[in-house]
Amino acid sequence: MSKLLVVEDDDTIGKVLESSLRLHGYAVSWQRTGHDALTEAAASEFDLVLLDLGLPDLDGVEVCRRLRAMLPSAVLVILTARTEEMDVVVGLEAGADDYLTKPVRLGELLARVRAHLRRGGTSAPTSPALTIGHLRVDTAGRRVSLAGSEVALRSKEFDLLARLAEEPGVAVSRETLMSEVWDEHWYGSTKTLDVHIAALRRKLAASATSTDQVPEISTLRGHGYRLERPRS
């Protein structure tokens, strides 16, 4: 049974989330403050966290950052009433994998939770490692290395790179990436995608010992992204 941590100070929303998620077969721990959420995360493992950014005691983004450090393999989804893109970007940069804006539509939330847990789940991929220039993406072991040294990526960053690496030199649309890496029912902003691409570029560049080792991810305006084939 998947274990979910719900962090929400609003009684009405918290109760709805807790009861619907339980009804759908998840084990739920509902915490109302940032402090209680961190205590709970220190005490047990979770597969997925739903985190309200507007908490009464601690800054939601800071809670996000700490939860990310404590639960490195959990999927972290932020809930925010604030629709400003900056809050979303800051949350994603603090370690969130995805976000939902309030008011949350329950059907969408459940679909998203299901998709995240399925993806992070039990199916064993059997495809061999992909090698593109200095980059090696081992999909079975979920590891990435660049010129032999390992690059530590978060779960969604890995999925995104693995998807692009399946077809080097091929343009992959934003819609395809959002639906295959995040959620087949995606119909929100694709800001999440841009933030993850930026993080990928940063981490790959930081791992390289020379610029010619860095795999190039091109932005195709109005379309999507392409992992370039190495020049030879």
Chain contacts with Ca ion (rule: CB under 5 A):
9, 52, 54
Q: In terms of CB distance, is 75 or 79 closer to Ca ion? A: 79
Rg (CA), the chain: 18
- Tell me how far, at minimum, the Cβ of 13 lies from Ca ion, in Å: 8
- Tell me how far, at minimum, the Cβ of 9 lies from Ca ion, in Å: 5
Crossing angle for the helix pair 191-207 and 155-166, to the nearest 10 degrees? 90
Crossing angle for the helix pair 60-70 and 34-43, to the nearest 10 degrees? 0
Q: In terms of CB distance, is 10 or 228 closer to Ca ion? A: 10
- Tell me how far, at minimum, the Cβ of 52 lies from Ca ion, in Å: 4
- Tell me how far, at minimum, the Cβ of 108 lies from Ca ion, in Å: 19
Q: In terms of CB distance, is 9 or 180 closer to Ca ion? A: 9
Q: In terms of CB distance, is 57 or 175 closer to Ca ion? A: 57
On whether the CB atoms of residues 92 and 198 are closer than 8 A, the answer is no
The one-letter amino acid at 16? V
Q: In terms of CB distance, is 66 or 203 closer to Ca ion? A: 66
- Tell me how far, at minimum, the Cβ of 54 lies from Ca ion, in Å: 4
Between CA 30 and CA 7 the distance in angstroms is 6
Q: What's the angle, vertex CA 163, arms to CA 128 and CA 105, rounded to 5? A: 130
Could you tell me which of 41, 38, 51, 48 has the C-alpha nearest to residue 100? 51
